[in-house]
Copies of this chain bind each other. A is one copy, B any other.
Amino acid sequence: MTARSQSNAPRRLHVTPLEPASRSVKLALHEKRLDFDVTDERPWERAPSFLVLNHAGETPVLVDSPRDLAEGNCVVCGAGVILEYLEEAYGGPALLPEAPGERAEVRRLMAWFERLYAPQAGWPLLFERVEKRRRGLGSPDMGVIKDALLALRWHLDYVSFLAERRHWLAGQIFTLADVMAAAHLSCADYVCELPWDHFPEAKAWYARAKSRPAMRTILKERLPGTRPPPHYDDPDF
């Protein structure tokens, strides 16, 4: 079951709606002002037509048709891989700094959200609140949600720690670290009221991120049957 958008952009992004990994790539494409079409996937159904694109059976997948590519399309799998690819294949606003040490700091924080935040906090919240219904797996486990929210406070504290010291998470410029963090935290913010007021520096950073045109576009998206809290897409929350 796929929803195809209508234009004829030179690239198509296969996503799962309200999935942080998919959202991070959408956000980067908007930041870099690259046109794209979207196909909504249901990767847990393991359809052969999707598995042939990505043997790992995961979204996001970008099917790109760069002008200078003589033979066919370029299929790029996985959020981190696509984000690096977009930096290397296209100009436009740079989302990675120049110096190797600064690039490493951006990537450290990307990995933080993918490898620590997601399994400890983001994924259990989204799984209980959204995925279980989407996949017909029963009702949410409130104990899991409670533990995930506790872990989430620790991660918001870390975002505050960073935001006290830097304008954006990895330094003075907006980078893929902010893209990844905003993608992950905004998905959690859709399914529950995050305690932003307890973490004022994190909140100030997130307000800056929400004010960016790319993020405002993303925050307009709605998952059928699930409504976010009122402050969700308000930059002055």
Measuring CB to CB, which residues of chain A are less than 8 angstroms from any residue of chain B?
Answer: 55-56, 69, 74, 76-78, 80-82, 84-85, 88-89, 100-101, 103-104, 107-108, 111-112, 115-116, 158
Contact = CB atoms under 8 A, between A and B. Distances in A.
Contact of A78 (B88, B101, B108): B108
A76 B104 contact: yes
B55 A81 contact: no
Stoichiometry, as copies per complex, reads 2
Contact of A84 (B89, B107, B116): B107
A108 B77 contact: yes
Contacts of A81: 104, 107-108, 111
Given A77-B108, A107-B80, A107-B84, A101 B69 contact: yes
Contact of A103 (B78, B84, B103): B84
Contact of A100 (B88, B101, B103): B88
